[in-house]
Amino acid sequence: MIEQPITAVYPGSFDPFHLGHLDIVRRAITIFPRVVVGVLQNTDKTPLLPTEQRVDLIRSTLEDMPGVEVTAFSGLLVDFLRESRARVILRGMRAVSDFEYEFQIALMNRRLWNPAETVFLTPTEEFTYLSGRVVREIWRLGGDVSGLVPEPVRRALEELRRQAR
Ligand code: ADP
């Protein structure tokens, strides 16, 4: 039997997409022929950037990476996986503190749809301290986010700050 090429879905809120996320996508595409970045449409909280803008910014950041697609999704991750013809869920593992929650979700997703497998990748050390929350906090306090986020995201955050003034 010929194995189907395996597609991996990398889900997250990516609010905003930062260099830790980029590092994971770069690693993933050396393993999987197709990687779908799934941007979660948050329904319960107000994001810093609206979903469509997050999708556009990630697309501009990843435009030179063949095999990578970016799509918004809502609802169950396993449904998005099936729609994407994928069965691998990619998650970044920064520290032991990520483990417990991720472990629980990985088992739950497999219970919801048995073929779903979760693969954990670790970023390069310098990005282990990075999170969306840290970037948002620095931005809110007026700090410089260059070196933390890709250039299209930095420009969008700068523009947002200008509008907020
Ligand atoms: P964040 O936690 O930065 O707000 P998300 O909640 O959107 O980001 O997470 C999407 C995925 O990216 C998760 O699997 C998360 O563990 C992973 N991730 C987030 N930050 C990093 C990082 N600095 N290095 C590696 N993976 C990360």
Segment 131-146, tens digit of pLDDT: 999 999 999 999 999 9
Distance 2 CA to ligand 1 centre (A): 33
Count of CB atoms situated within 10 Å of the CB of 144: 10
Count of CB atoms situated within 10 Å of the CB of 46: 7
Distances (CA, A) of 102 to 72, 95, 131, 157: 21, 11, 15, 29
Confidence grade of residue 43 (pLDDT, cut at 50, 70, 90):
confident
Share of the chain above pLDDT 90, in %: 88
Tokens of 134: 């840290």
pTM of the complete model beyond 0.85:
yes
User: Quick one: pLDDT at residue 157?
Assistant: 97
Q: Where are the beta strands (DSSP E) in 13-158?
A: 34-40, 68-73, 88-92, 117-121
Count of CB atoms situated within 10 Å of the CB of 130: 19
Distance 21 CA to ligand 1 centre (A): 6
Ligand 1 atom with the smallest distance to the CA of 91 is: 14
- The DSSP code sequence of 5-44 is PPEEEEEE--TT--HHHHHHHHHHTTT-SEEEEEEE--SS
**CATH number 3.40.50.620 is the correct assignment for the domain at 7-164:** yes
Ligand 1 atom with the smallest distance to the CA of 128 is: 23
Which residues have C-beta within 8 Å of that of residue 33, sequence separation ≥ 6? 5, 6, 7, 67
Rounded average pLDDT over 116-139:
95
For 26-40, 41-55, 101-115, 138-152, which range has the lowest pLDDT when averaged over its residues? 41-55
Distance 102 CA to ligand 1 centre (A): 11
Ligand 1 atom with the smallest distance to the CA of 10 is: 11
Tokens of 60: 């501009």
Confidence grade of residue 164 (pLDDT, cut at 50, 70, 90):
confident
Residue nearest to atom 16 of ligand 1 (CA): 92
Residue nearest to atom 22 of ligand 1 (CA): 20
Distance 20 CA to ligand 1 centre (A): 7
Distance 39 CA to ligand 1 centre (A): 12
Residue nearest to atom 10 of ligand 1 (CA): 12
| pLDDT tens sequence across 51-80 | 999 999 999 999 999 999 999 999 999 999
User: Quick one: pLDDT at residue 20?
Assistant: 97
CA gap 66, 75 in Å, rounded: 27
Average pLDDT over all residues of the chain: 94
Report the b/e string of 69-87 with b at 16+ CB within 10 A: ebeebeeebbebbeebebb
User: Quick one: pLDDT at residue 95?
Assistant: 84
User: Quick one: pLDDT at residue 97?
Assistant: 83
Tokens of 36: 């779908």
Confidence grade of residue 96 (pLDDT, cut at 50, 70, 90):
confident
Confidence grade of residue 45 (pLDDT, cut at 50, 70, 90):
confident
Residue 154: DSSP 8-state: H
